[in-house]
């Protein structure tokens, strides 16, 4: 749990937390450094075990933490400082009941019968790997089926992501010629929840918005986001940013707006960390 001490970033606001959680503290460099420090402290307390043995098991623990975080849509900055992009495998939601159940069962078994602790741990790892493998195969099958159903020749235009709060449900993105469709699939039945117009990269307002602070946040924060240009009666433009990963109660959770003047210059930008709550105005 040592890497998750970055939760202290929450004291500076939710936006700061979202940008820093699973950042540098979850990189390969930080995970290795944490293992070095923790194993040295443990060796000082329990010198009967060799330092190398303690370090190896501690390193396995910290690395498994990082790998587990890659499995969900939030991801982690594994390659920091070389890249601040969060890497994600889009396999499970933030907390998967099957994996957590296996880990919890292994822990209880180890406490009750320490003599089979190693067997219990290896069994939990093996069963978790089988479960994740089956999820991956199911994800590929759903991707292929959606590609055929919506006449998408390139399967890369279909993205399957775990649904929030529903561990056995998948969400999907269809990158079609004129639009991007977001939907959910339950009991093998797909349903389109929202259709978004295709991004017009030649639109000067959109191009300017993509150069702003909000765009930088979304680039760092999520691999799947969409922008939409809205024009008011006075021809002022508001470019809306949508994080397409998290959908709850009929809307995307993380959104933002870039407000542009009649001349196309950015006047101000607002990030909305939660629906129906006051947004955070970005300095510009």
- The pLDDT score that the predictor gives to residue 179 is 95
91 domain-assigned: yes
Specify whether the CB–CB gap between 269 and 284 falls below 8 A: yes
User: At which of 79, 111, 133 does a domain end?
Assistant: 133
254 domain-assigned: yes
- The pLDDT score that the predictor gives to residue 117 is 83
227 domain-assigned: yes
Q: How far apart are CA 44 and CA 92, in angstroms?
A: 38
β-bridge mates for residue 181, sequence order: 174, 195
Do both 7 and 116 map to the same domain?
A: yes
- The pLDDT score that the predictor gives to residue 93 is 82
Number of domains the chain is built from: 2
- The pLDDT score that the predictor gives to residue 134 is 96
Q: How far apart are CA 211 and CA 249, in angstroms?
A: 31
Do both 128 and 236 map to the same domain?
A: no
92 domain-assigned: yes
- The pLDDT score that the predictor gives to residue 221 is 82
| pTM confidence score | 0.84
- The pLDDT score that the predictor gives to residue 201 is 75
53 domain-assigned: yes
In order along the chain (284 residues), what is the average pLDDT of each group of 10 residues?
55 62 81 89 82 85 83 85 85 86 90 88 91 95 96 94 90 94 92 92 87 90 90 82 92 93 88 82 72
- The pLDDT score that the predictor gives to residue 14 is 63
**Structure token pair of residue 119:** 């067997």
User: At which of 108, 133, 158 does a domain end?
Assistant: 133
54 domain-assigned: yes
Q: How far apart are CA 137 and CA 266, in angstroms?
A: 45
- The pLDDT score that the predictor gives to residue 150 is 94
- The pLDDT score that the predictor gives to residue 16 is 67
**Which residues constitute the domain of residue 70?**
2-133
- The pLDDT score that the predictor gives to residue 192 is 96
């Amino acid at each position: 749990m040592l890497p998750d001490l970055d939760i202290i970033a929450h004291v500076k606001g939710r936006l700061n937390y979202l940008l820093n959680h699973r950042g540098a503290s979850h990189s390969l460099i930080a995970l290795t450094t944490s293992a070095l420090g923790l194993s040295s402290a443990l060796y000082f307390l329990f010198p009967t075990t060799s330092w190398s043995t303690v370090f190896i098991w501690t390193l396995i623990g910290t690395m498994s933490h990082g790998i587990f975080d890659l499995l969900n849509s939030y991801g982690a900055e594994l390659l920091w400082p070389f890249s601040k992009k969060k890497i994600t495998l889009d396999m499970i939601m933030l907390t998967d009941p099957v994996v957590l159940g296996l880990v919890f069962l292994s822990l209880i078994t180890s406490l009750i019968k320490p003599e089979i602790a190693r067997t219990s741990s290896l069994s939990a790892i093996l069963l978790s790997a089988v479960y994740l493998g089956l999820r991956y195969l199911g994800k590929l099958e759903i991707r292929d089926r959606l590609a055929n159903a919506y006449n998408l020749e390139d399967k890369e235009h279909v993205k399957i992501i775990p649904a929030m709060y529903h561990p056995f449900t998948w969400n999907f993105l269809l990158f079609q010629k004129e639009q991007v469709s977001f939907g959910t699939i339950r009991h093998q039945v797909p349903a389109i929840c929202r259709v978004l117009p295709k991004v017009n990269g030649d639109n000067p307002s959109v191009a300017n918005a993509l150069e702003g602070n909000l765009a930088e946040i979304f680039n760092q924060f999520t691999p799947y986001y969409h922008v939409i240009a809205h024009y008011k009666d006075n021809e002022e433009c508001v470019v809306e940013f949508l994080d397409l990963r998290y959908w709850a109660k009929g809307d995307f959770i993380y959104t933002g707006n870039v407000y542009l003047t009649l001349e196309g210059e950015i006047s101000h930008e607002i990030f909305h960390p939660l629906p129906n709550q006051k947004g955070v105005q970005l300095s510009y």
